[in-house]
Amino acid sequence: MNDARLSLSFDGPVAHLRLCRAEKLNALDADMIEALLSICRQIDRSNARVAIVTGEGKAFCAGGDIAAWSDLSPQDFGSRWLRDGHQAFDALARLRQPLIAVLNGHCLGGGLELAACADLRIAEAHVKLALPETGLGIIPGWSGTQRASRRFGAQLIRRMAILGEVFTADQALALGLVDQVVPTGQGMDAALVVAARVSARSPRATEITKQLINAAEGEDRERTLEMLAGALVAGSDDLAEGLSAYREKRQPRFGGKD
C-alpha cells in the first residue's frame, strides 16, 4: 500500500523513511500504519545497510491521530488500531538493518513508541519527549509499556506514563532515552555520519549482531533463534544430500559434515 504521507528513498547503502504529515505533527492514522508495514518489507528486502527515520516539519511524530481512533468501538480499537500498530512497529523494530531515528521535533506518545523501535536515537536540542496517554484516559498502546520498558527501563517509563513527566533532549540523553543530542537542524547530518560508520562494517555480521541483541531484550527471540539455526543448517552437506535423495527418490546418506 502506498501513502504519500510516508516517503521512502534510497541513497547508496542508506534507506530514508520520512513521515510527511507536518500539518498534523506527523500523527499516524490507519492508512499510514498499513503503509508503514509495507515500507518495512521494502527496506528489509533492499540492499540498504542502514535505515534512517525522521519527521517533516516541526515534529518527529505526535503519535496516533486522535481523530483516527477516538470514535472506534472498544472492539475495533483493540483488534484493529492497536493490533495493526503493533504489527507495523514490530516490523520496524525487527528490520534486519540498524535503524537510526532522527528526532527533529517533539516525540510524543506513539512517536516515542516509534522512536523506541530504533537502534539509535539522535535528538535535536529543542526536542521534548513524553508519554501523555494517561492524561487523555488511554494507555500507551503501541508497546510503550513493553518495548520501551525493556529498552529504557521500567522505572523511567513509569515516570513518563504514570506521572506524566516530560523530558528535554539533554535530560533524555542523561536518562538513556536518546544516544546523542545535536543543535537544532543538525540531526540528519549527524545521522548520516553514524550511518556511514555502520555501513563501513560487515553487513552480515552487523545484521546478526542486531538480531542477537534484540533477542537478548526479548524482541522476536523465537524467530531469531530459528532463523539463525536454519541458516546454519542450510549451508550443510547434509541438506544438499537430503535434497538430492528426495529428487532421486532414494534414502539419504547423511555424513554429518558442515
Catalytic residue annotation: 113, 133
Query: In one letter, which amino acid is 67?
Result: A
User: Where do runs of H (alpha helix) occur along the chain?
Assistant: 30-44, 66-69, 74-76, 83-93, 110-115, 147-152, 154-161, 169-175, 187-199, 203-216, 221-234, 237-248
Q: How far does Cα 206 stand from its chain's mean position? A: 16
Please name every residue paired with 16 in a beta bridge, in sequence order, or none if there are none. 9, 52
> How far is it, in rounded angstroms, from Cα 54 to Cα 182?
14
Q: What b/e readout covers 219-253, taking b as 16+ CB neighbours within 10 angstroms?
A: beeeebeeeeeeeeeeeeebeeeeeeeeeeeeeee
